[in-house]
Amino acid sequence: MTTVYVDNNATTRVAPEVLDEMLPYFSEYYGNPSSVHAFGGNVAKKIREAREKTAALVGASPEEIIFTSCGTESDNAAVRSALKSAPEKKHIITSAVEHPAVLNLCTALEKEGYRVTYVPVDTSGNFDFDYFTQSLSDDTALVTVMWANNETGVVFPVKDIAEKAAEKGIPFHTDAVQAVGKIPVDVRELPVNMLSLSGHKIHAPKGVGALYVKKGTRFHPFVVGGHQESGRRGGTENVASIIGLGKASELAVDHLPRVDTDVRHMRDYLENTLLETVSFSSINGNRERRLPNTVSIGFDAIEGESILMHIDYAGICASSGSACTSGSLEPSHVLRAMEVPFKSAHGSIRFSLSVYNTMEEMKYIAETLPPIIRKLRMMSPFWDRCNDKA
Ligand code: PLP
């Protein structure tokens, strides 16, 4: 059975070109980039090149890029640094639908005495801009708001948010882990101080990420140690993965037009076909302001986890909109924040595509899913009630 992988917001395959570029740095060129000898120096040169490529992906200068171990570390480093830079301020603004990398950090910070405003979203997942502006205060140390949501793909008005924060002299960090490589991300177009990205979302390996820190922004290292990364992140570099991230950044620039056309076309085909063929199905999130590769669909009256299991037997890898907490299948915090009705939030599935998907795969999903939904609904105690409403 072939695998149809449509879970690219969870992680992506390492691009063959990326792997080719990485492999010699495990076996042949294994020097330490900090060494004085030429063997290590050549590795340092390759890291410099990777830094240039990752910087180019987001419109930054190479000196503004710090390599990290993942998107989560980048987020933690950014938030902690901003708080340390303004120790007298005790307020943070974020959104209610951030990734746990930011959300759980904010919860931890509340226990450390910070006050956190979680800006709500509307039923389409749109950021409540008025609520945000009213929340800004003299005590606000940082605004940290994601560029695009991992579950729904909804894109936030980060330029407006950044400009509003800048007007008040408040630093702005954005978690752009899902936006980079899918839509244009250019730090020159908005007053953003720090931006997080992650390698494994853009066809580089897992375990490498980057943090952009705008020149002039005060930065306090999160991982303290050696002088690596110009003293901003200690620890011997994850050389092969950084080189992989450099290559993946270069590929992401090349792939961007195809994501906007081919990938968008496949996503639209999939979502329109499913909406037409499956009754009581609906899209979660603003369809206009969305990443071109993502669709979250709610199928009324069934459990997302059951759908996932059944499509998994058919070789289809996707995600549900549930978080399995203490045995009960609660809808995710994102769908709850959007107040998606219980009956469709529970049966929500996210498909996230990449340039490696094909139209044949979309047709396969569109043929395989409707009979599964029908079968599950026949077994669902909620289905009759759903029909009654029709
Ligand atoms: N931020 C967002 C929006 C994400 O989607 C993810 C991963 O899913 C992360 C942060 C964490 O990235 P990493 O897995 O590299 O730690």
Q: So what's the pLDDT on residue 328?
A: 57
Domain range holding 357? 4-10+255-377
Mean pLDDT of the chain: 95
Q: With 60 as the cut, is the pLDDT of residue 324 above it? A: no
Q: How far is Cα 59 from Cα 377, in angstroms, rounded to an integer?
A: 49
- Closest CA relative to residue 47, chosen from 250, 237, 252, 180: 237
Reply yes or no on whether the pLDDT at 322 is more than 70: no
> How much is the average pLDDT of 304-328?
84
Count of domains observed in the chain: 2
**Does 70 contact ligand 1 (Cβ within 6 A)?**
yes
pLDDT tens digits for 276-291?
Answer: 999 999 999 999 999 9
The whole-angstrom separation of Cα 2 and Cα 24 is: 30
- Examine the pLDDT at 321 and tell me if it is beyond 90: no
| DSSP assignment of 194-263 | EEEEEGGGTTSPSS-EEEEE-TT-----SS-SSSHHHHTS-S---HHHHHHHHHHHHHHHHHHHHIIIII
Q: Same domain for 42 and 162?
A: yes
Question: Over the stretch 27-37, which tens digit does the pLDDT of each residue have?
Answer: 999 999 999 99
Testing ligand 1's pocket by substitution, the residue of 14, 146, 177 carrying the most ligand atoms inside 8 A of its CB is 177
Q: State yes or no: pLDDT of 354 exceeds 50.
A: yes
Q: With a 6 A CB cut-off, is 350 part of the ligand 1 pocket?
A: no
Per cent of the chain over pLDDT 90 is 93
Put simply, whether the predicted model's pTM sits higher than 0.85 gets the answer yes
pLDDT of 2 reads 85
Q: Is the pLDDT of residue 295 over 80?
A: yes
Q: Do 239 and 289 share a domain, yes or no?
A: no
Residues in the chain: 390
Q: Is the CB of 99 under 6 A from ligand 1?
A: yes
Assess whether pLDDT exceeds 80 at residue 7: yes
Specify whether the CB–CB gap between 27 and 369 falls below 8 A: no
Looking at the chain, the whole-number percentage of residues with pLDDT higher than 70 is: 97
Residue 197 CA to ligand 1 center (angstroms) comes to 8
Does residue 381 register a pLDDT over 70?
A: yes
| 61-89 average pLDDT score | 98
- Domain annotation covers residue 384: no
Asked if 224 and 356 sit in the same domain, the reply is no
**119 domain-assigned:** yes
pLDDT digits (tens, 9 = 90+) for 95-138: 999 999 999 999 999 999 999 999 999 999 999 999 999 999 99
- The string of pLDDT tens digits covering residues 139-151 is 999 999 999 999 9
For residues 58 and 151, membership in a common domain is answered with yes
Where do the H-state alpha helices sit in the chain? Answer: 16-22, 24-27, 38-58, 71-85, 100-111, 129-135, 158-167, 228-231, 239-258, 264-277, 304-313, 333-337, 342-345, 359-379, 383-389
CA of 10 to the centre of ligand 1 (A): 8
pLDDT at 386 over 70: no
Q: Is 146 in the pocket of ligand 1 (CB under 6 A)?
A: yes
- CATH code of residue 247: 3.40.640.10
pLDDT at site 327? 53
Q: Are residues 303 and 363 in the same domain?
A: yes
Residues with catalytic annotation? Answer: 324
**pLDDT band, very low/low/confident/very high, at 382 (cuts 50, 70, 90):** confident
Q: Which atom of ligand 1 is nearest to the CA of 206?
A: 15
One domain for residues 358 and 303:
yes
Instruction: For residues 372 and 175, give the distance between their C-alpha atoms in angstroms, rounded to a whole number.
Output: 36
| Same domain for 215 and 243 | yes
* Chosen domain end from 251, 275, 305: 251
Does residue 390 have a pLDDT over 50?
Answer: no
Is residue 243 domain-shared with residue 293, that is, in the same domain?
no
One domain, residues 140 and 105? yes
- Torsion sign over Cα 69, 7, 362, 264: negative
What's residue 95's pLDDT?
A: 98
* CATH classification of the domain holding 344: 3.90.1150.10
Half-sphere exposure of 311 (CA within 13 A, CB side): 30
Within a domain: residue 198? yes
Residue 387, in any domain of the structure: no
Residue 74 alpha carbon, nearest atom of ligand 1:
16
Domain boundary among 224, 251, 278: 251
Domain match, 140 and 275 both: no
In a domain, 382, yes or no: no
In a domain, 389, yes or no: no
Do residues 56 and 76 share a domain?
Answer: yes
Q: Which of 11, 104, 198 to mutate to test the pocket of ligand 1 (most atoms within 8 A of CB)?
A: 198
Single out the residue in 196, 226, 251 at which a domain terminates: 251
CA 297 to centroid of ligand 1, rounded, Å: 21
In terms of DSSP bridges, do strands 91-95 and 140-144 run parallel, antiparallel, or are they unpaired? Answer: parallel
The answer to whether 29 and 40 are in contact (CB under 8 A) is: no
Q: Is the CB of 310 under 6 A from ligand 1?
A: no
Q: What is the mean pLDDT of residues 222-244?
A: 97
- Counting ligand 1 atoms within 8 A of each CB, the residue from 106, 151, 178, 180 with the most, and so the one to mutate, is 178
Q: Is residue 383 part of a domain?
A: no
Shared domain check, 218 and 343: no
The verdict on residue 385 lying in a domain is no
